[in-house]
Amino acid sequence: MANVITISALNAYVKTILERDPVLTDIALKGEISNFTNHFKTGHFYFTLKDEKCSVKAVMFRTYAQQVPFMPQNGMSVIVRCRISLFERDGTFQVYVENMFPDGIGSMQLAYEQLKARLEAEGLFDVEHKQMLPSAPKCVGLVTSKTGAAIQDIINVTNRRCPMAQFLLAPVNVQGEDAADGIARAIERLDKSGRVDVIIVARGGGSKEDLWVFNSEKIARAAYNCKTPIVSAIGHEIDFCILDFVADMRAPTPSAAAEIVMPDIMEENKNLYKKYTNICNTMQNVIKRCYNKCISYENSPFMRKAAQKPTAYEARLSVYASSIKRQMEHITEKREIRLAHSAALASSLNPHSVLSRGYSVAEINGAVIKSVKQLKGGDSISLNVADGSARCTVNEITNERCVKS
């Protein structure tokens, strides 16, 4: 007889079998959503996945549900990555979803429009947030596949327009499940490096499914938070993605991105030469106008009248100069007469002049004799005359004045 077990033991056993199967621990399922419920308290998604014949219950817990860039809806075709297990309490076989992707053009377009509307409402597309691209970047950051055609197109255009430009490549996968994380991290690394002046995120053409990764919310937010100007160059001109609206500039192709970012050196040289020529011509015209204006001023009545004024002033100055000269001569003559009188007076007071008229000066011991009281008999005195001196001896002293007869 078979062993008797409890329902709990059965459910636990079945759950163990399911969770130990390596095929069922990471599997991708494709199906249509029905009975979708977004639990407002927990944030979990509950729904049913079905195809033409069968269905299976599914749950997506809040941690994973928050990362879905669109809001699932009934009737939407999706692909989910999940694991298979059993809800023991109810004995319910169900899938536990970790990632969800829209499947089919209709589902993809709906997810695209939902994410676009949400990000636009948050302000990620606002023009005020857009940055100006540098006119002559020294180093350009590239976020693209290192083996794709996009990088070669950008290099070819750059070699033609600005050969001295430098690139800093952050190689990434541009397609696949993990591509969005890699692209977002590459944008952040280039931005934080401080080595690039502008960043180009590029991918060549492809199907809508191939380009879908660039509708990732992670890439959009990395581009929005980037302090370095970003150019989106995804696919062809008709291809649009979420990154195009967040980036500071959209280029229709990778080649066009290089055309936008890189200055054309030959064209710049032509523009500089044209500006130089215009400046030279302008200066010549200004000089010519100034010369003609000076000629017109020179021939004007005002200038002729002004030219006559120096001649009149010169005549008046000549009269003033003659008058001043005469006054100075008169003053000089008077001063010379006064000087001559002063010189004669000074000459008359000169002791030597007095001696030359027959007078003499007597000294005793170097002192001039002014009184007989300074003398006594036998004193030796010095008698100074105009042409010399003589030593004399006092023989007699009288108090009577000597009067010349």
Out of 99-103, 199-203, 217-221, 232-236, which region has the weakest mean confidence (pLDDT)? 99-103
Q: Look at residue 86 and tell me whether its pLDDT is greater than 80.
A: yes
Q: Look at residue 22 and tell me whether its pLDDT is greater than 70.
A: yes
The pLDDT of residue 368: 84
Question: What percent of the chain clears pLDDT 90, i.e. is strictly above it?
Answer: 35
Q: Please tell me what DSSP assigns to residue 259.
A: H
The pLDDT of residue 301: 76
What is the residue-averaged pLDDT of the chain? 86
What is the spatial order of strands in the sheet that 361-364 belongs to? 367-368, 361-364, 380-385, 388-393
Which domains does the chain carry? Answer: 7-103 (2.40.50.140), 124-263 (3.40.50.261), 353-393 (no CATH)
The pLDDT of residue 390: 86
The model's pTM: 0.53
Q: Angle CA(234)–CA(236)–CA(238) in degrees, nearest 5?
A: 110
Confidence band (pLDDT; 50, 70, 90) for 401? low
The pLDDT of residue 308: 67
The pLDDT of residue 94: 93
Q: Angle CA(336)–CA(340)–CA(344) in degrees, nearest 5?
A: 170
Return d(Cα 250, Cα 208) in angstroms, integer: 18
CA contacts within 13 A on the Cβ side of 310: 4
Summarised one tens digit per residue, pLDDT across range 316-375 is 888 888 888 888 988 888 888 888 888 777 776 677 677 777 778 888 887 888 888 788
The pLDDT of residue 105: 64
